[in-house]
Structure 1
């Protein structure tokens, strides 16, 4: 396929059809990639957590993020911040695994901060306290120390070797 071709869906909207790896990075056309998560799937909280855990355990946090994003967009208003925070944790792990330590740490901490509001009630059996601890601990491990010698542009993290996404996958429930 022509690399300059712009993929479109049935309604004519731009949709990148390039295959992706387990961390959601685009691969060259014709390469075998990891199947994408269908968009807009409405799942119960139980189904959301089960599917996201399966993907996290398989080293595919980018895909788990998409499952959480579906829950965030389709669920009841009172749960939207919960699912958004869960998506941020999955994307934080994705960035850490891709080698973007600064961005990964930032998203892990942001998701953990939002989850604080859910610590006491632990909705849907989610181990909120353990997830907060996991996110903060991983953020502290992956974030490079600031040397002050070189200023980095805003929004740009220093790439490192990355972490093993499957080995670092959190348990969503105790």
Structure 2
């Protein structure tokens, strides 16, 4: 547990320093094997990822039952639903980064320029808005991501998944960089018209 808690804290601070989360937004988790099955280490509800400490990390079982004191992120069921459908996923990062979320609030899509997952579309998958923290969002997101590693949540943010929490964080950073570049490119094309 000590290693998982340290990793949650380290990645949380990394995401905050990279401006992929702000205030008390965003949540992350990692899955590891326990004596009685999978255990998920997850950030607590309403916590700033910048000031997180190892003692704040919450452990839950695969049904969401708390194994430690505290309250897990309100998106715990989103994480659990994805873990239940994806044996290849051991790290999940959910961010509200500025450029990706800006795209999520418009009809513009983020073009893919990567090899994460199956390239079935030139754009990242999107899921229409569902209220945060709900079972409906958890169920629909775990279906929509399929075997991909990125899902844009309309009017909300981004989910990145990977074999490790570190890789999921790096994917989130990569997608935010793409969204920023595409936004700047779009603005430069607009300025050419004037």
Q: TM-score when scaled to structure 1?
A: 0.28
Normalising by structure 2, we get a TM-score of 0.26
More helix by share: 1
